[in-house]
Structure 1
Amino acid sequence: DSNKIRQSLADRNITACIPPKKNRKSKPSYDWHLYKKRHLIENMFAKLKDWRRVATRYDRCAHTFMSTIHIAASFVFYLKE
């Protein structure tokens, strides 16, 4: 949450989805709804990394690794707790 990071993202036409720190003097605005969606995606990656084979990437071939991710994502999606 620094101006340097925000400027770097803006230079590349990327919308910063970073909530400002509570003790920051000038608080830049951010899209709360976009941040909520980003949080859901980060949670999905965390659930995928619970699978040891995905977290450590045992597969050498990218195609095999992607197949493993698809299987893990299917299990995570269909077997919600």
Structure 2
Amino acid sequence: MTIPERVDQLAGRKRRRERPCGFDKAAYRRRNVVERCFHRLKQWRGIATRYDKHPDRYLAAITLASTLIWLDQ
């Protein structure tokens, strides 16, 4: 599990004597980076709306947007 549980959920598990879910902080950090990357890519209108229907053109648009985002950092 990579998303931390809320405090009330943890208390409920303890009350019902259920096994607590594991939380991996490093996995959560990596997942957050990927989600932020998708968010930045969706700022590009053509990618978010899948304007290009051809897979090669869509992949080219994602590659271009990813490169420009990487260079901007």
TM-score past 0.5 threshold:
yes
Return the letter of the residue paired with 2:45.
R
Identity level (%): 28
Q: Return the structure number with greater helix share.
A: 2
Runs of 4+ in 1 over 6 A off after TM superposition: none
Return the letter of the residue paired with 1:66.
L
Return the letter of the residue paired with 2:37.
M
TM-score by length of 1: 0.74
Cα distance, 1:21 vs structure 2: 1.6
- 1:59 is matched with 52
Cα distance, 1:18 vs structure 2: 2.2
Structure 2: 5+ residue runs without aligned partners?
A: 14-19
Structure 1: 5+ residue runs without aligned partners?
A: 1-15
Select the structure with the greater relative contact order (CA < 8 A; seq sep ≥ 6).
Answer: 2
Is 2:2 aligned against 1:17? yes
